[in-house]
Amino acid sequence: MFMNIKPGVVLQKGKYTIDSILGQGCFGITYRAIHHQLNQIVVLKTLNESLSHHQDFAKFQHQFINEVHLLANSRHPNIVKVWDFFEEEQLFFMVMDYIPGDNLADLINSGHKLHPKEAINYVHQIASALSVVHKNGFLHRDIQPKNIIRQAGTDTVILTDFGITCDLTTGIRQTYANLFSVGYAPPEQCGLQQELTPAADIYALT
């Protein structure tokens, strides 16, 4: 049974306090939280409550742990950093850097028009980040503007949301029909049992 996570909830014996929900996807939910020992804002991510009764819940937990390992071993200036991991009431949490700024989807929807040079700069940064992800044997599988944050006051973009990342070494095939973003995913990611390669991420990026 999932614990009731809401603003004010304290975790790890007072180490973290939940402040607000930042975002929610098919697999994960992220919270803005306060790290009291460091007096710092952080992001906590855990599995979405909607998965608690899913027949593949154990698989989703394993996938979540893989995401933690991937981020912990993929040090790159354009990849969100994870620096803590814990379990509380049978629920796993990862602690990540809080990145002030807007994701590119919100930025564009607010009326901001990306100059071609600006867009190319962002593509180069994310391509560099993906080179590390692919070198470590993984696919991101969800490259889209809402998963790229432009750090406030800079031209630096950070790749986030590795929730449906998968391991290249096992020979990836698409096994869930809804694990793709319309308009960004390549054709092979839109059908079941299609083999996926790093080209899927590159297609989504470009």
- SS3 assignment, position 44: strand
At 26, give phi and psi (nearest 5°).
-65, -35
Does 102 qualify as catalytic in the annotation? no
Residue 132 belongs to what H/E stretch?
A: helix 116-135
Q: List b or e across 93-123, with b for residues whose CB sees 16 or more CB atoms inside 10 angstroms.
A: bbbbebbebbbbeebeeeeeeeeeeeeeebe
Q: Residues 19, 84, 142, 155: which is the catalytic one?
A: 142
Alpha carbons within 13 A on the beta-carbon side of 5: 27
How are beta strands 91-97 and 101-103 bridged, if at all? unpaired
- SS3 assignment, position 96: strand
Active-site positions? Answer: 142
